[in-house]
């Protein structure tokens, strides 16, 4: 339901009492509450605000005896590590301290208070426990917001571990007590609410005109004025006069009393009424939040913004701002180093075009008044008890999908119309089926010869490669087109259009993701692994140019000019898909940043370099390949480099999206610079990127499969460290699928790392036990042959120098070591006894407890299972063969769970496979699906399913997809099909046929 306008709120209704709860998450909530509360008070009602915000935020706008302010903080919002970054774990811990541990006393206190003030309606923006307290007090409640904390915290849980998951469930259950949601523009998905009413922007009114404000400040009307609306400036940040273009002035909000400002910066009073200041300015520089975006749109003020890390509502507000041509993104590095000029000058050239309503406060107040006197806006089709169920428990998995849930093409939860339109306009969805891709392929058969001259390589008939080349052609056309100014143009396409010099050669590479059929996390313990390169792949286009001919982005040029230097080699990257995540679409750096004293910087320094701005941390996977080539092979890069990265490999699904990006990037860099590197060496170098520059402790099987794999074959590799045994043909009657649980997987996550550490601890303990046993083995005199077999000195000595845990057989493990290993051990205890766990890519936390037995047992048995699986694949086709293969997958899945690397979503999917596997129909027809397991690093991601290669199996996979969606609200992505690896693809060297030919050399 949407309500855009109303008649003026009636003051004839009976006198009402509203209890209005305000979250402690920034001033944006408080400022919009002001406008709603003001209209309720104008209608003659009492408003009791429950808030932690300063009084002046409310009293500067409302001076009325009907306004009551009660200083209580019932939710802490997000805890910031600094002015631009949320500390996700600290946020969850703080919320637990604020709202979870004292929950019983909070509810008792709030119920008593609500009854004492005789509240007619509870309003929440957007405090979860307020909804539950209202229900306990027998009072109706309504939420007014653009996001909810279940959505925000769900992504934090993905990063912080499952131990905080109950927080998200509790929040969702609290919200489900709310009668309906009044939803503000720029909203996030909020699955916990069943009934929704959309209203216009809620914006504080102006008190004074632009001319009046400028006169009070003593600023002439023709002076360019920027308001720095930061709400907490970065620590140690000192503003400098040269940050502003000549003749500009900057009004600083929230400056400390002790802060000294240059003469072109003016400190505003702490209680300054910012809407008036905003309307009197020419542009605003700050962080995106509801308050800043809504007021920038309402008063048509261009907004130069800097991304904040893990503010998960930001992408939705950002897209709304840019849709109405009101936003310019500033790179954090340029903010902190003072390269403001190109951004400010770009901002004042914008013509913001928001023409929507700004009377959301009045509209919301009217709805709240009508609700308080008995009107029912909520759906009457479902009883409230069912609403509680549908708002939380039905969505237990879907809510915990959180941030990633809304980044998947084909999602069915409502998001703003402008977001969908932008995707459709440029055909960005990766959710098209292989069938539709093939039909598109036929219509593009002549594309390569018509639009590009292929100087080297072959497209291998790959439809996705043809699509990528077609997208390059469209960029060539767009670069000189007036369409560049269309307001719906996605930023990454606009940036990419100016990336290449179309008269020069471009190198294109392709690297697929992989489906972990068997082996998974046992790779770092030296296991045999079986991996299938999937149909989805990453394409990278690279061009190198002399610095004097390189097309620089405006801010990069300004940076070089400020340094007073001539053209220097620069790396510029555009990454497609940023609109589906909260990452920046572009990255650039001077390649000299990788050098110190003429030598490459250390990997540790590089890791810090990329970590300083998490919205651009993704660039470590791509730019990191350059540093590894410099460090390991002594390559020096004297030309500028432009890179376009377009990946169809789903992110965070456990199918090696990161490895495909690394392999495609390094392959393209190598091709463009004439470097001859074998696919195996490419994989090993890319592992260094992930381990040492990204900082993720992964094995090498991902990169090796992406580089060395072949279509319809499993890459068999012993990870000691990377011995490829060969390729195993997938029998024609067998098929593998991947089904995405939707729960984000991160190989850099704490759970994966702790299990890896546990396995290395176990190896160290086993080596120590074997060494002790070998020294105490009795001589053969007087001992029986059984004892000699068990305690063979030769075996014990080999185990005392065990290089890889997987070289220990299951029977030896059970006979000698299983009962000797501790279930778990603290890092401090282990370090005291063993000094080190001998893993170069992980660090033991002395304060943390690590599981040892399960983490050690898994790779030992997994290696055995993979060997058995490989042997079975080549055996005679039979139902018994498939049953045995499926059983090995099931065993692997439950071994993951024993290591605490399972998840609700992947367990549910495996259970659905089992239900179909054991159904009467499957048994009567020799079965179709036979087994399933979680893949990769675990803790969510994708499951691998094995079955017969037949139409009925495909139908059953779709049935699982539909049943999972019905249970969780999330429609899984299906991975089906295989493709060649980067080594077999090679590279394309292309040149646009529409450019001027180069002179022959």
Our CA dihedral for 703, 704, 709, 714, rounded to 10 degrees, sits at -110
DSSP one-letter code for 8? P
Q: Are the C-beta atoms of residues 639 and 545 closer than 8 Å to each other?
A: yes
Q: Which of 865, 746, 585 is nearest to 155 (CA)?
A: 746
Q: Which parts of 721-836 are beta strand (E)?
A: 723-729, 734-740, 824-826
Q: Are the C-beta atoms of residues 683 and 670 closer than 8 Å to each other?
A: no
The rounded Cα 395 to chain-centroid distance in angstroms is 20
CA distance linking residue 936 with residue 954, whole number of Å: 23
Q: Show the tokens assigned to 294.
A: 């809504």
Write the DSSP assignment of 91-135 as a string of letters.
Answer: HHHHHIIIIITTHHHHHHHHHHHHHHHT-SEEEEES-HHHHHHHH
CA distance linking residue 2 with residue 498, whole number of Å: 40
CA angle in degrees (0–180, nearest 5) for 876-880-881: 45
Q: Are the C-beta atoms of residues 534 and 738 closer than 8 Å to each other?
A: yes
**Pairing mode of beta strands 196-198, 283-287:** unpaired
Q: Are the C-beta atoms of residues 521 and 937 closer than 8 Å to each other?
A: yes
Q: Which of 893, 891, 873 is nearest to 881 (CA)?
A: 873
Our CA dihedral for 941, 947, 953, 958, rounded to 10 degrees, sits at -10
334 is catalytic: no
* Residue 965 CA: distances (Å) to CA of 394, 621, 823, 932, 980: 11, 32, 37, 18, 31
Can you tell me whether residue 651 is helix, strand or coil? coil
CA distance linking residue 227 with residue 981, whole number of Å: 52
Question: H or E element: which one contains 291?
Answer: helix 290-298
Can you tell me whether residue 568 is helix, strand or coil? coil
β-bridge mates for residue 140, sequence order: none
Query: Active-site residue among 702, 740, 751, 907?
Result: 702
Number of other CB atoms surrounding residue 205 within 10 Å: 14
CA distance linking residue 755 with residue 740, whole number of Å: 22
Helix axes 88-95, 149-160, angle to 10 degrees: 120
Question: H or E element: which one contains 953?
Answer: helix 951-968
Can you tell me whether residue 345 is helix, strand or coil? helix
- 114's CB contacts (< 8 A; 6+ apart) are 19, 122, 133, 134, 137, 139
**Pairing mode of beta strands 46-51, 17-22:** parallel
Q: Show the tokens assigned to 28.
A: 């944006």
**Pairing mode of beta strands 713-718, 723-729:** antiparallel
Q: Show the tokens assigned to 622.
A: 């791509």
- Number of alpha carbons in the 13 Å side-chain half-sphere of residue 340: 27
Q: Which of 649, 759, 601, 641 is nearest to 982 (CA)?
A: 649
Q: Are the C-beta atoms of residues 664 and 491 closer than 8 Å to each other?
A: no
DSSP one-letter code for 485? G
φ and ψ at residue 610, rounded to 5 degrees:
-80, -25
Q: Are the C-beta atoms of residues 169 and 192 closer than 8 Å to each other?
A: no
φ and ψ at residue 418, rounded to 5 degrees:
-65, -30
By annotation, the residues acting in catalysis are: 702
């Amino acid at each position: 339901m949407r309500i855009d306008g109303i008649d003026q709120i009636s003051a004839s209704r009976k006198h009402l009492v509203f209890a209005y709860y305000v979250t402690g998450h920034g001033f944006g909530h408080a400022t919009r509450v002001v406008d709603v509360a003001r209209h309720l008070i104008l209608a003659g009602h009492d408003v009791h605000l429950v808030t932690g915000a300063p009084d002046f935020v409310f009293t500067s706008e409302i001076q009325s005896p009907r306004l009551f302010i009660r200083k209580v903080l019932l939710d802490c919002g997000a805890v910031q590590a600094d002015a631009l970054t949320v500390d996700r774990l600290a946020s969850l811990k703080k919320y637990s301290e604020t709202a979870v541990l004292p929950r019983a006393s909070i509810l008792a206190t709030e119920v008593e208070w609500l009854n004492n003030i005789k509240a007619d309606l509870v309003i929440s923006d957007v405090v979860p426990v307020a909804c539950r307290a209202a229900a306990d007090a027998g009072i109706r409640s309504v939420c007014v917001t653009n996001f909810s904390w279940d959505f925000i915290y769900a992504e934090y849980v993905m990063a912080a571990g499952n131990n905080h998951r109950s927080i998200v469930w509790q929040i969702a259950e609290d919200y489900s007590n709310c009668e309906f949601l009044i939803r503000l523009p720029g909203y996030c998905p909020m699955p916990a609410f069943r009934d929704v009413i959309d209203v216009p922007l809620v914006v504080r009114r102006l008190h004074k005109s632009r001319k009046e404000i400028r006169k009070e400040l003593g600023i002439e009307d023709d002076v360019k004025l920027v308001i720095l609306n930061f709400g907490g400036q970065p620590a140690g940040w000192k503003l400098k006069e040269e940050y502003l273009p000549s003749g500009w002035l900057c009004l600083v909000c929230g400056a400390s009393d002790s802060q000294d400002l240059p003469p072109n910066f003016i400190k505003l009073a702490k209680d300054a009424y910012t809407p008036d200041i905003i309307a009197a300015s020419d542009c605003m520089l700050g962080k995106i939040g509801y308050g800043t975006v809504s007021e920038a749109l309402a008063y048509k003020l261009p907004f130069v913004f800097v991304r904040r890390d893990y503010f998960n509502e930001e992408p939705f507000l950002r897209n709304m701002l840019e849709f109405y041509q009101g936003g310019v993104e500033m790179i954090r590095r340029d903010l902190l180093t003072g390269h403001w000029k190109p951004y400010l000058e770009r901002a004042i050239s914008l013509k913001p075009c928001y023409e929507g309503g700004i009377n959301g406060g009045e509209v919301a107040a009217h709805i709240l008044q009508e609700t308080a006197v008995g009107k029912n806006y909520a759906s009457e089709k479902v009883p409230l008890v069912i609403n509680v169920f549908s708002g939380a428990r039905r969505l237990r998995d879907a809510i915990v999908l959180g941030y990633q849930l809304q980044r998947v093409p084909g999602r069915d939860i409502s998001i703003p119309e402008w977001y969908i339109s932008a995707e459709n306009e440029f055909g960005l969805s990766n959710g098209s089926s292989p069938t539709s891709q093939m039909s598109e392929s036929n219509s593009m058969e002549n594309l390569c010869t018509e639009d590009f001259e292929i100087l080297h390589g072959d497209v291998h008939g790959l439809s996705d490669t043809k699509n990528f080349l077609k997208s390059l052609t469209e960029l060539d056309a767009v670069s000189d087109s007036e369409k560049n100014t269309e307001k719906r143009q996605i930023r990454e396409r606009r940036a990419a259009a100016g990336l290449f010099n179309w008269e020069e050669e471009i190198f294109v590479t392709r690297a697929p993701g992989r489906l972990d059929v068997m082996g998974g996390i046992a790779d770092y313990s030296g296991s045999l692994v079986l991996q299938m390169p999937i149909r989805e792949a990453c394409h990278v286009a690279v061009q190198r140019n002399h610095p004097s001919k390189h097309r620089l982005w405006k801010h990069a040029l300004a940076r070089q000019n400020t340094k007073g230097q001539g053209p220097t080699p620069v790396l510029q990257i555009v990454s497609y898909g940023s609109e589906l995540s909260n990452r920046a679409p572009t990255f650039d750096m001077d390649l000299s940043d990788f050098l110190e004293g003429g030598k490459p910087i250390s990997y540790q320094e590089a890791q810090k370099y990329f970590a300083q701005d998490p919205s651009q941390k993704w660039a470590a996977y791509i730019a990191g390949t350059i540093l590894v080539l410099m460090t390991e092979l002594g390559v020096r890069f004297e030309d500028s480099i432009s890179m376009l990265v377009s990946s169809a490999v789903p992110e965070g699904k456990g199918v090696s999206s990161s490895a495909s990006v690394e392999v495609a990037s390094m392959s393209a860099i190598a091709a463009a610079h004439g470097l001859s590197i074998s696919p195996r060496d490419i994989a090993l170098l890319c592992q260094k990127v992930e381990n040492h520059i990204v900082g993720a402790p992964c094995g090498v099987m991902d990169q090796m499969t992406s580089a060395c794999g072949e279509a319809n074959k499993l890459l068999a590799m012993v990870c000691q460290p990377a011995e490829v045994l060969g390729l195993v043909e997938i029998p024609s009657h067998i098929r593998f699928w991947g089904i995405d649980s939707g729960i984000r997987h991160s190989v850099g996550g704490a759970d994966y790392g702790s299990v890896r550490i546990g396995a290395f601890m176990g190896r160290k303990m086993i080596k120590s036990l074997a060494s002790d046993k070998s020294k105490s083995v009795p001589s053969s005199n007087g001992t029986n042959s059984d004892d000699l077999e068990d305690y063979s000195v030769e075996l014990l000595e080999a185990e005392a120098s065990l290089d890889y845990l997987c070289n220990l057989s299951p029977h030896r493990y059970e006979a000698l070591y299983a009962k000797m290993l501790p279930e778990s051990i603290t890092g401090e205890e282990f370090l005291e006894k063993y000094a080190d766990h001998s893993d170069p890519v992980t660090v033991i936390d002395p304060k943390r407890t690590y599981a040892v037995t399960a983490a050690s047992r898994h790779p030992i048995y997994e290696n055995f299972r993979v060997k058995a699986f490989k042997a079975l694949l080549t055996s005679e086709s039979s139902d018994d063969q498939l049953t045995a293969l499926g059983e090995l997958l099931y065993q692997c899945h439950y071994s993951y769970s024993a290591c605490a690397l399972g998840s609700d979503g992947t367990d549910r999917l495996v259970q659905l496979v089992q239900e179909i596997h054991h159904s009467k129909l499957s048994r009567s027809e020799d079965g179709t699906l036979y087994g399933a397991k979680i893949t990769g690093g675990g803790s969510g991601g994708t499951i691998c399913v094995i079955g017969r290669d037949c139409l009925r199996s495909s139908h059953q996979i779709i049935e699982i997809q539909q049943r999972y969606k019905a249970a969780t609200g999330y429609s899984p992505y299906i991975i089906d099909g295989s493709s060649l690896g980067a080594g077999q693809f090679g590279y394309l060297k292309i040149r646009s046929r529409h450019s001027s030919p180069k002179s022959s050399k």
